Amino acid sequence: MTSADVTSSRPASGLERVRSSPSTGGERRLGAMAVTLPEVVEELLSEMAAAVQDGTRISDEHLSSLKFVFGSSAIQALDLVDRESVTLISSPSGRRVYQVEV
């Protein structure tokens, strides 16, 4: 595997891993179906939302997956949320803006 291959150490629940290979110009299937990054992220965030709604902690595996997908900025962003530094502002027209206080 080269540094250009993209994969996680294990797939998100219910999804199979796919490596993107520039040498072949596309995806190589590692299982029965190919998945895209948005699908993986949506599955990951859904699992995390379910954990929060159940009142349980977000697992280290989920945090590691976030860091793998988004880099270290994901952990910094979660820290801002934990410190209640993010406010959602909604207008009557339906526009939504997140205000971050650092």
Decide if 46 is inside a domain. Answer: no
Q: Nearest 5°: CA angle at 57, between 56 and 61?
A: 125
pLDDT score recorded for residue 68: 92
Decide if 86 is inside a domain. Answer: yes
* End-to-end Cα, the chain, rounded Å: 40
For residues 69-97, average pLDDT: 93
| Between 7 and 98, the higher pLDDT residue | 98
pLDDT score recorded for residue 92: 95
Portion of the chain with pLDDT greater than 90, in percent: 54
Decide if 4 is inside a domain. Answer: no
Task: State the residue range of the domain holding 86.
Answer: 72-102
Question: How many structural domains is the chain composed of?
Answer: 1
For residues 3-9, average pLDDT: 40
Whether the CB-CB separation of 43 and 12 falls below 8 Å is answered with: yes
Supply the mean pLDDT for the chain.
Answer: 77
Indicate if the pLDDT at residue 94 is higher than 60: yes
Q: List Cβ neighbours of 78 (8 Å cut-off, separation of 6 or more).
A: 63, 66
